[in-house]
Amino acid sequence: MILRILKTNQAYHFILIPVLVLVLWFRSYIHPEYFPFFEGESDMFLYQLVHHWLSKSPLISNLLAIFFVITLSFLILRLNTTYAFIRVRTFLPSNIFVLIVSGLISLHALHPVYFALLFIVLCVDRIFQSYKKETFYAQAFEAGFFISVGSLFYFNLIFFFPIIWLGFLLIKSSPKWRNFVLPILGLMVPWLFAWSYYFLTDQIHVFNATISKNLYTENYFLRQNLPLQIYLGFLILITLISSVFLLNQYDEKKISTRKYFQVFFLIFLVSFVLLIAVPAVSQEILIIMALPLTFLISNYLIFMKKRFWSNLIMYLFLALTIYMQFT
């Protein structure tokens, strides 16, 4: 029942999704609190402007986070509508995204990663645009530019840059050399402006220290957090089930769909490696992971023939997300 409601392609979702976010994020505006940043995390070169502006009002900060989640949910819907890698008109990806993010209680506050996810969605859109284009120089430059701007909010987004090159290799059999050079130029331009500002104001030491803190600050988020461990355990389980399901139907997918899912796998893989390898990366990377997981889980729930199991998973998902609101 609940799955049928969430996966339809009816206009009521334009109201249901914001209402769902407001219900599941009630603590963020009833008892607003700032995210507990480690030293330097809120000092990234563009995010510090936002953080300074919102430093006197945690409520406005959290309402902006809610706005981001609602906006991102509809941008995710637009990706599937435009490129149809899930060959069904459905709002389920948007609803799954909302559920995944809503279970991460500590991130019910504004964090640089929400800006990062916005720019990686725009980057993925540019990569996918190259599938039907002979020349895609503008898309190549813009993809690098979006990763660059996003990394000025959330530094570790810069490690997703190779996905642009790998994405073009996956999408196009033989991309031209310009399609590898232009993303580098797009990456360099915003960072050159940022570096120049700190150089001209004699703050290069601040520039270097901020980057260092966003790489090497030790961050632990699972220790003594049983509810989050349970929630992530469920996400891991459904991810494994959905992955096996996708592999079983992989040969039946259209070539373009396979390529798109390969790009999403790269995003998940880079996110996972960063979580393991970079000390400063913590649970916020799960917000970026939510992008590929949204489509992977949606694909499973939509095409799973045994409705009992797909509905049971959906009820468990919703129940766990609600449970997390009271932990």
The parent domain of residue 29 ranges over 2-136+221-324
Residue 312, domain member (yes or no): yes
pTM: predicted TM-score of the whole model, two decimal places: 0.95
Specify burial of residue 134 (Cβ count, 10 A radius: 0-12, 13-18, 19+). Answer: exposed
| Residue corresponding to tokens 């029942």 | 1
Asked whether residue 184 is domain-assigned, the answer is no
Distances (CA, A) of 167 to 171, 318, 326: 6, 33, 40
Yes or no: say if 144 and 127 are a contact pair by the CB < 8 Å rule: no
- In angstroms, rounded to a whole number, what is the distance separating the alpha carbons of residues 116 and 148? 10
Our count of domains for the chain comes to 1
Within 8 A by CB and 6+ apart from 132, the residues are: none
Say if residues 141 and 185 touch (Cβ distance below 8 Å): yes
**pLDDT for 223:** 74
Residue 195 lies in a domain: no
Helix axis angle, 92-102 to 285-303, nearest 10°: 140
Q: Which of 238, 243, 236 is nearest to 264 (CA)?
A: 243
Q: Is residue 143 part of a domain?
A: no
**Residue 179 confidence (pLDDT):** 84
DSSP letter, residue 155 = G
Query: What is the predicted pLDDT for the residue at 186?
Result: 97
- Whether residue 162 is contained in a domain is answered as no
Closest CA to 118 of 162, 151, 163, 85: 151
Residues 6+ apart with CB under 8 A from 97: 69, 72, 73, 76, 290, 291, 294
Q: Largest Cα–Cα distance in the chain? A: 64
In whole angstroms, how large is the CA radius of gyration of the chain? Answer: 20
**pLDDT tens per residue, range 166-203:** 999 988 777 788 888 999 999 999 999 999 999 999 99
Low-confidence ranges of the chain (pLDDT < 50): none
Q: 177 in a domain, yes or no? A: no
User: In this predicted structure, what is the pLDDT of residue 284?
Assistant: 94
pLDDT for position 177: 82
CB 280 within 8 A of CB 212: no
Helix or strand run (H / E) with residue 275: helix 255-277
Q: Would residue 246 count as lying in a domain? A: yes
Q: Give the pLDDT confidence of 271-327 residue by residue, as tens digits.
A: 999 999 999 999 999 999 999 999 999 999 999 888 888 889 999 999 999 999 988
What's the N-to-C CA distance of the chain in angstroms? 27
Helix axes 92-102, 307-324, angle to 10 degrees: 40
Whether residue 266 lies inside any domain: the answer is yes
